[in-house]
Amino acid sequence: MSAADQGVALGYEPASGSGERRVWIPSGGSHRSGPLGALQREQLVSAVLDVRPDPDTRLVMLGVDVDELQPAGRAALRDRIAFLPADGGLLSSLNAWENIVLPIGFHRPECLREVAARVYGMLARLGADPSALLAKLPERMSLYEKNLTGYVRIALERPELLIAEDPQGGLDSVERAAAERFPAAYLEDCPGGTFVQLEVASAP
């Protein structure tokens, strides 16, 4: 990757002159995007998650220029990325535990037996009471608990890039302080990983 590429800011911004927008997501560490509009947020998230940016966008993440990848390479890259929506992205019919183990049950069912200890450890490290949280349905959870559940679900899979959408938005000061521990907890679990917090601008 050239130095010019590395100079492009994190986020979804038009590159000067060419009409092409470029998104470069650095590898490693914790980063915070500038406030994105709703449309920019939608385009960025779908470009990253589909690993298929629109024709006017050049997307570079985890050190890979997505345009240069074949479909198999894109699928492999997608497996290294996770997205945490603003409300945790939970399924309302499943309790916290079932939500947490859902992706592991799909992608690595052989690991399900060893998951419980890790989940309890992660929740305790983030200051939550696992026995109180895990049986709750999303309708009974606070916004922070939803985010926490969503975060643990993702962190279990140890993705190399975690994009979290405004994980502290809408929280009170105590919950905000707790949510601020997500990046450090993630980097502890996934050394060398990249944690990106998307800040979404509120509508005018």
Q: Which is nearer to other proteins, 13 or 87 (CB)?
A: 87
Q: How far is the CB of 3 from other proteins (least distance, A)?
A: 33
The amino acid that residue 47 corresponds to is: A
Angstrom distance (rounded) from CA 111 to CA 109: 5
What's the one-letter identity of residue 22? R
Q: Which of residues 136-155 bind other proteins (CB under 8 A)?
A: 153
Residues in contact with other proteins, total (CB under 8 A)?
21
Nearer to other proteins (CB atom), residue 52 or residue 176: 52
Per-position x/- string for 177-196, each x denoting binding to other proteins as judged by CB under 8 A, each - no binding: --------------------
* Closest CB to other proteins among residues 32, 80: 80
Among positions 23-62, residues that touch other proteins (CB under 8 A) are: 49
Give a three-class secondary structure readout of the chain. CCHHHHCCCCCCEECCCCCCEEEEECCCEEEECCCECHHHHHHHHHHHHHCCCCCCEEEEECCEEHHHCCHHHHHHHHCCEEEECCCCCCCCCCCHHHHHHHHHHHHCHHHHHHHHHHHHHHHHHCCCCHHHHCCCCHHHCCHHHHHHHHHHHHHCCCCCEEEEECCCCCCCHHHHHHHCCHHHHHHHHCCCCEEEEECECCCC
Among residues 29, 109, 121, 127, which is the contact residue for other proteins, using CB under 8 A?
Answer: 109
Which 68-107 residues touch other proteins, going by CB under 8 A? 78-79, 82-83, 85, 89-93, 98, 101-103, 105-107
Least distance between other proteins and beta carbon 109 (Å): 6
**CB of residue 139 vs other proteins: minimum separation in angstroms?**
12
Query: Least distance (Å) from other proteins to the CB of residue 103?
Result: 4
Contacts with other proteins by CB under 8 A lie at 49, 78-79, 82-83, 85, 89-93, 98, 101-103, 105-107, 109, 112, 153
